[in-house]
Amino acid sequence: MRILILNGPNLNLVGQREPEIYGHDSLDQAAIRMAKQFADQTLSWQQSNHEGQLIDWLHKAEHDGFHGVIINPGGLSHTSMALADAIRSINLPVIEVHISNIHGREEIRQKTLTGGACRGVISGLGLAGYALAVTALVEEDQS
């Protein structure tokens, strides 16, 4: 199974930015661990600080042979109707992941526009949330 993992603005700084919230490991470190953990799957990680790039990747995902998408839109999850519409416009299962527990943070972060467009949302389990999302997509694909 081919899974596209998209990460939005500022997530390139995970491991450096606010480690008390996001932890000390980077997305690159998570990608290395998960490549070993899910050796039978193809995981393609992308990160952009630009909303339009994330939308373009979503639009191309099925054409590029992906079977599912995991997305951490970062701050865009709370503000971007365009990103939510892009998620709704594709014919692939999409799972949203948040490293921090958005429900325990500032009020504006507690609502996710993009999450409502997704199959499910995983929040607050650190980088392990990505692995849980892969497991969910693989199990769904096998049923």
Q: Which listed residue (67, 78, 98, 103) is catalytic? A: 98
- Record the tokens describing residue 28, joined without a space: 């690159």
Q: How far apart are CA 47 and CA 124, in angstroms?
A: 20
Which phi-psi region, left, alpha or beta, contains residue 88 (left: φ > 0; alpha: ψ -120 to 50)? alpha
CB 56 within 8 A of CB 27: no
How many residues does this entry show for the chain? 143
Instruction: Specify the DSSP element, H or E, that contains 130.
Output: helix 128-142
The residue assigned the tokens 């639009």 is: 59
CB 76 within 8 A of CB 51: yes
Q: Which listed residue (22, 24, 78, 103) is catalytic? A: 22
Q: How far apart are CA 47 and CA 97, in angstroms?
A: 14
Whether 130 is catalytic is no
Q: Which residues are part of the catalytic machinery?
A: 22, 98
